[in-house]
Amino acid sequence: MNRSSERFLGFSMKDAAGKSLLETNSVDNKELMVQQLQRGREWEGLISWRRKVGDSVVLSGRVIPVCIPGR
């Protein structure tokens, strides 16, 4: 989440904090995405983003796994 996506989708970073991408959006080939991230690799594909106003928009996206020590 960044400022541009906050304005476009209508959700703040605070709204998105602690939520998984899969909880709030639909992902093209979800199984492949999960496999790639579990292997520590980034994933790139189509994501159907839900906007705060209720509609959806399909955008190309990239997900990069991040490991935070102690969590």
Q: How far is CA 57 from the centre of its chain?
A: 13
Domain extents in the chain: 3-63
* Cβ within 8 Å of residue 19, ≥6 positions away: none
pLDDT value at position 41?
A: 95
- What is the rounded average pLDDT of the residues 23-43? 89
Q: What is the pLDDT of residues 5-22, one digit of tens each?
A: 899 999 998 888 888 877
What is the C-alpha end-to-end distance of the chain, expressed in Å? 20
Reply yes or no on whether the pLDDT at 55 is more than 90: yes
pLDDT value at position 27?
A: 87
| Among 3, 2, 5, CA closest to 57 | 5
